[in-house]
Amino acid sequence: MPAVSKGDGMRGLAVFISDIRNCKSKEAEIKRINKELANIRSKFKGDKALDGYSKKKYVCKLLFIFLLGHDIDFGHMEAVNLLSSNKYTEKQIGYLFISVLVNSNSELIRLINNAIKNDLSSRNPTFMCLALHCIANVGSREMAEAFASEIPRILVAGDTMDSVKQSAALCLLRLYKTSPDLVLMGEWTSRVVHLLNDQHMGVVTAAISLITCLSQKNPDEFKTCVSLAVSRLSRIVSSASTDLQDYTYYFVPAPWLSCKLLRLLQCYPPPEDGAVKGRLVECLETILNKAQEPPKSKKVQHSNAKNAILFEAISLIIHYDSEPNLLVRACNQLGQFLQHRETNLRYLALESMCTLASSEFSHEAVKTHIETVINALKTERDVSVRQRAADLLYAMCDRSNAKQIVAEMLSYLETADYSIREEMVLKVAILAEKYAVDYSWYVDTILNLIRIAGDYVSEEVWYRVIQIVINRDDVQGYAAKTVFEALQAPACHENMVKVGGYILGEFGNLIAGDPRSSPLVQFNLLHSKFHLCSVPTRALLLSAYIKFINLFPETKATIQEVLRCDSQIRNSDVELQQRAVEYLKLSSIASTDVLATVLEEMPPFPERESSILAKLKKKKGPGAVSVTELEDNKREGGELNGGGDRGPDTAAMAASNASTPSPSADLLGIRSAAPVGAPPASTGSLLVDVFSEAGPAAPSAAVNDDGFLRFVCKNNGVLFENQLLQIGIKSEYRQNLGRMYLFYGNKTSVQFASFTTTVSCPGDLQSHILFVPLCSETKPSNRITQWKAITSSLSP
């Protein structure tokens, strides 16, 4: 219908809008708008007082201009004036303007609040509704302060009209969301819960949103709502389609209300009362049954409404996670939807199944659909549906289908959307690690990952594969061989070079016997990629070269040539230059013994939480990784630490520490980042530390360089940790006084005797620190003891 508006017309507005629409260009539009703005400005400033109608018209025009996207810096006063008018339409426009153009001008807010207060106490339901709508639309803290006590009273008062109650409920909800501390339910709680029994369905619909939100924050206070909700729900579900009259939507009884009731029930665990629980289970079964019945209408609205209730019911079943029968039925229903004609339903089914996969009762049932899901991954045209399928595969992965799923995900990755690749890479890496029975498969998978999506393979992923290869003897040879072959590909991703360089540097000797991968061949292969790589990779390669000199003395001359050449020792990058110079010197002057000790094989890494998991958690938010976490808790630890023999280094360390050690731990000054001395049992380990700092930062087992800097901002945490000792720090500061607690944890199963600590404080800090040892010298095994340092400085 064309541009005739109902009611009063406001012709001027319609003309203005037409003008704007007829403007042929942006400039013309701006010109017209400025003209109008000038006109309105002059009218507002003019001598004649404007009548209500004109004011309304101009304020409406300003609103229109604002909604087009231009800024409006006047008209607020006039809008506020309109609020106090007795004419409904004028009030309405005034409120609309205020709601849309919220202003933090305190003067105006006071006036607005006054007008609202008047309308709220006017006993005129339409005015009251207008006021409540405005509060709900704006929901600012000032409004909360002014009205938070008034609105609950209106909500539960006997003489409030139903429409006002509805608005009051949702208005209160909005205020609660923005300023929860100002909305005190206290005395109103039971009356609000009682609204669930109201005979007006609209009131129930509105109230239930409020109750749901309040229940989430104060479950105990509102728990009486559960039984009321269940009875309401069962009444609706079992009603014939004619019972609820206007609340029936395309033959579905009260779909919005049903969904809200089911949502409310998800805030609570399953009801303890047997009768209530029984009724609820009956309800859920009815809903599941109805899904199997032929539809009462062909319209998509009917099926949407019906399925909305179904999906919400399934969410509830999943949330309870206690009725195996219902869970399996839910799973089957979702399985049917997986192949539905409608894309929406397939999408939602995939999404719901993800949550279902984490429940132990239905995990097996979910797995039966693996073929369908894989098919969806391959054939769906909508990328968001494909992504859901990938998520579901991740969720349903376990030992029995890990290989299949990882293979599918890898092939999906080859054609996946760029925006989701990084997440996919992380997921594949996590799955490969968790379900690897045969670690050579794991190594293959990660190398494939790098090959397919090298750009998106973050550092955490390839650090992890190196950590694992180092920790597991049995896969080292395989890793060396595979990496060697991978590097021979003509176009090789830089991450592959990094991994290859590191692994060949450590374990190249395992494949050096074969003439095709002799030391010189390995070196040439790595060096051929050298000039293609970025600085950090080159640094890593240089470290690999010096390791080669140690492993394969026959390559010494060749490698020294390379190190000696100008492009290395005079390289503009400080790191590369330093390494080249130092390695060159080291290789020339160190005897073979020293060299061997220095470039000892890396010791196994301590087990710690996978940084990949942490990264995935960060990317997706806390909810997404709960599945894997659940499984992490279930799995046996120690999969990382390979058994078997380690290099001579660790044996020496272990031996020397069984006798009386005196690891004198030099404490840092509070701000310096000097590395703490490791137990001096062998010079080797100390130097290894130094080298490990030079290498990729993460695999360092001992020193956390950046960790120290952390403590500039952070008060608590682990200061230092190695296999013997853990030092934690807890500090508190108040103005110029500080107190620092140091906790020493003995991680071995033997006692430390003669344990001493010394604090070395740089310079003038000395005078300010009072060091108080809190307990004795002997440290029993596996215990944590405490030392205290109090610092005071002259300035805060």
Of 327-386, which residues contact another protein (CB under 8 A)?
343-344, 346-348, 381-382, 384-385
Question: Residues 106-135 vs another protein: string with x where CB under 8 A?
Answer: --------------------x--x--xx--
Q: How many helices (H) and strands (E) does the chain have?
A: 38, 9
User: Please, what is the minimum distance in Å from the beta carbon of residue 514 to another protein?
Assistant: 50
Please, which residue, 215 or 495, has the CB nearer to another protein?
A: 215
Torsional sign, CA 679, 684, 687, 688 = negative
Among 301, 339, 781, 792, binds another protein (CB under 8 A): 301
Pick from 312, 408, 460, 689: which binds another protein (CB under 8 A)? 312
Report d(CA 357, CA 350) in Å as an integer. 10
What does the angle CA 224 – CA 226 – CA 231 come to, to the nearest 5 degrees? 115
Contact 168, 131 (CB under 8 A): no
Cα dihedral 439/442/444/448 (nearest 10): -170
Q: How far is the CB of 46 from another protein (least distance, A)?
A: 21
How many chain residues bind another protein (CB under 8 A)? 73
> Residue 247 Cβ, how far from another protein at the closest point, in Å?
6
* Among 114-122, 137-145, 509-517, 668-676, the segment contacting another protein (CB under 8 A): 137-145
Question: Minimum distance from CB of 207 to another protein (Å)?
Answer: 10
Pick the stretch among 253-261, 600-608, 634-642, 781-789 that binds another protein (CB under 8 A). Answer: 253-261
Stretch that binds another protein, among 82-90, 191-199, 593-601, 711-719 (CB under 8 A): 82-90
- Which of residues 97 and 442 has its CB atom nearest to another protein in the complex? 97
Please state the closest distance from residue 320 (CB atom) to another protein, in A. Answer: 16
Nearer to another protein (CB atom), residue 73 or residue 220? 73
Q: Which is closer to another protein, CB of 337 or CB of 552? A: 337
Q: Are 314 and 333 in contact (CB under 8 A)?
A: yes
Beta strand spans in 350-464 (E): none
Q: Which is nearer to another protein, 248 or 746 (CB)?
A: 248
Nearest approach in angstroms of CB 405 to another protein is 22
CB of 318 to another protein, least distance (A): 12
Q: Which of residues 258-287 bind another protein (CB under 8 A)?
A: 259, 263
Minimum distance, C-beta of residue 245 to another protein, in the bound complex (Å) = 8
Residue 189, SS3? helix
Shortest distance, position 210 Cβ to another protein, whole Å: 9
Question: Each residue of 546-581: b (16+ CB within 10 Å) or e?
Answer: bbbbbbbeebeebbbebbeeeebbebeeeebeebbb
Helices 225-237, 255-265: inter-axial angle, 10-degree rounding:
150
Question: Among residues 69 and 796, whose Cβ is nearest to another protein?
Answer: 69
412 and 390 in contact (C-beta within 8 Å)? yes
Give the residue from 256, 346, 343 showing the smallest Cα distance to 305. Answer: 256
> Is the CB of 259 or the CB of 688 nearer to another protein?
259
> Contacts with another protein in 617-646 (CB under 8 A)?
621, 623
Long-range contacts of 71-75 (CB under 8 A, 24+ apart): 72/101, 74/41, 74/44, 75/40, 75/44, 75/101
Report, in Å, the least distance between residue 205 CB and another protein: 6
CB of 100 to another protein, least distance (A): 8
Min separation Cβ 7 and another protein, Å: 5
Smallest gap from Cβ 369 to another protein, in A, equals 19
Q: Which one of the spans 297-305, 407-415, 551-559, 771-779 is the region binding another protein (CB under 8 A)?
A: 297-305
What x/- string results for residues 3 through 32 when contact with another protein is judged by CB under 8 A?
x-xxxx-----x--x---x-----------
Cβ proximity of 519 and 508 under 8 Å = yes
Separation CA 55–CA 64 (nearest Å): 14
By beta-carbon proximity to another protein, the closer residue of 151 and 468 is 151
162-191: contacts with another protein (CB under 8 A): 163, 166-167, 169-171, 173-174, 177-178
Q: Which residues contact 778 (CB under 8 A, 6 or more apart)?
A: 751, 752, 753, 754, 755
| Binds another protein by CB under 8 A, chosen from 140, 215, 467, 571 | 140
The single residue among 81, 84, 231, 304 that binds another protein, judged by CB under 8 A, is 304
Which pair of structure tokens corresponds to residue 395?
């969720």
Choice between 178 and 731, CB closer to another protein: 178
Joined tokens for residue 121: 């106490």
For another protein, the binding residue among 62, 76, 92, 192 (CB under 8 A) is 92
* Closer of 97 and 548 to another protein (Cβ): 97
Question: Nearest distance from residue 391's CB to another protein, in Å?
Answer: 10
Q: Which two tokens stand for residue 788?
A: 């205290």
Give whichever of 170 and 533 is closer to another protein, judged by the CB atom.
170
Residue (247 or 552) nearer to another protein, CB: 247
Residues 44-73 that bind another protein (CB under 8 A): 60, 63-64, 67, 69, 71
* Contact yes or no for 65/19 (Cβ under 8 A): no
Residue 684, CB-side half-sphere exposure with 13 Å CA sphere: 19
Per CB under 8 A, contacts with another protein among 722-781 are none
Closer residue to another protein, CB minimum distance, 213 or 480: 213
For another protein, which is the closer residue by CB, 62 or 599? 62
Q: Please, which residue, 303 or 685, has the CB nearer to another protein? A: 303
For another protein, the closer CB: 349 or 511: 349
Q: Which of residues 507-546 bind another protein (CB under 8 A)?
A: none
Among 111, 308, 596, 698, binds another protein (CB under 8 A): 308
Q: How far apart are CA 468 and CA 463, in angstroms?
A: 9
Q: How far apart are CA 318 and CA 358, in angstroms?
A: 9
Nearer to another protein, 57 or 369 (CB): 57
Q: How far apart are CA 328 and CA 315, in angstroms?
A: 13
Q: Which two tokens stand for residue 342?
A: 């409608």
Starting at the edge strand found earlier in the chain, the sheet holding 737-746 runs: 716-721, 725-734, 737-746, 784-792, 769-773
How many CA atoms does the CB half-sphere of 160 hold within 13 Å?
25
571 to 610, contacts with another protein by CB under 8 A? none
Residues 192-251 interacting with another protein (rule: CB under 8 A): 201-202, 205-206, 209, 246-247, 249
SS3 731: strand
Minimum distance from residue 415 beta carbon to another protein (Å): 18
Rg (CA), the chain: 36
CB of 305 to another protein, least distance (A): 5
Decide whether 347 or 545 has the Cβ nearer to another protein: 347
Inter-CA distances, 736 with 186, 712, 761, 795, Å:
43, 15, 18, 6
| Helix 519-530 and helix 476-487, axial crossing angle in degrees, nearest 10 | 50
In angstroms, what is the minimal distance from the CB of 381 to another protein?
Answer: 7
Q: How many CB atoms lie within 10 A of CB 710?
A: 12
Name the maximum alpha-carbon separation found in the chain: 102
E-only strand ranges, 668-761: 716-721, 725-734, 737-746, 757-759
Assess 404 for contact with another protein (CB under 8 A): no
Q: DSSP string spanning 596-663?
A: HHHTPPPPPPPP---HHHHHHHHHH-GGGGHHHHHHHHHS-S-SSS--S---HHHHHHHHHHHS----
